[in-house]
Structure 1
Amino acid sequence: MAIYQIVEIGSEVLREKAVPVKEITPNIAKLLDNMLDTLYDANGVGLAAPQVGVSKRVVVIDVGEGPLELINPVIIAKEGEDLDDEGCLSIPGITGQVARAAKVKVEALNRQGELQVIEGEGLLSRCLQHEIDHLEGILFVDKAKKTSRR
């Protein structure tokens, strides 16, 4: 396992639309493993592949309920609205109030290539939306009502 360097704001890869994963190879499994190690090392709750310099539609999340590995995630349903503070491992020292859906339903492949449906609310909903935004080249500061230094 390896700890990746987290790419920070200003890097082009964070503004690119990430490329879908066409085939789940051993390299994708290794990417997932290393992204989880990096997430835990950084004390984060979510990490998208572009944040480690890889333009692939891959996300890992752990909001305290065990790790989720998402390949080619797509939000298929949203409900309600929630305004709360967010931060980002790629934008250290900055937080911002961001309006997100209160609940989401996401489809994604797992590392075995099986389609999974994840329903999230609260922190999981916010994290799913934040990380999927990364795959579109969108950062939370683009959506923040206001930002402040931590």
Structure 2
Amino acid sequence: MPLLFDSDYETLHKAGVNFEEEEGARFLIFKSFPLPKGIYLADAKPANAVDVLYEIPQNYNSSGGDMFWVHPRLHRADGKPIPNTGGPGSNEDSRTHKATVFCRWSRHWHKNAWKPKVDDVRTIMDRISWAFKYPDARRS
């Protein structure tokens, strides 16, 4: 059973988004998701893109979810910590897909931020982009 609606897949294909799915775990993985320039390091090198794992909720699209996971782990170029993130490991709420460990980013959105049957995969990508652009911010 597909994770998304046909219109979501059309959006992804029209936008040229490279993605893969793991239906059993309900993982949607955005490959080489763009990062804002100059903010992040991965493996001590400037990072311009990262793979993002997103768990599609069972009740999609009544709910949009509130966390995502990244690989490789990101660090701020300015040395500040990134709030509400975890590293690899069982105590860090990481996710594993095809032997690759993804590190958690928790971003709880205002309870009314998701509009059922209006919001879609574009909203998910916009939320992820927003979180990368404003790593210290909380949306309310």
TM-score (norm 2): 0.30
Higher relative contact order (CA 8 A, sep 6+): 1
Considering fraction of residues, name the structure with more helix: 1
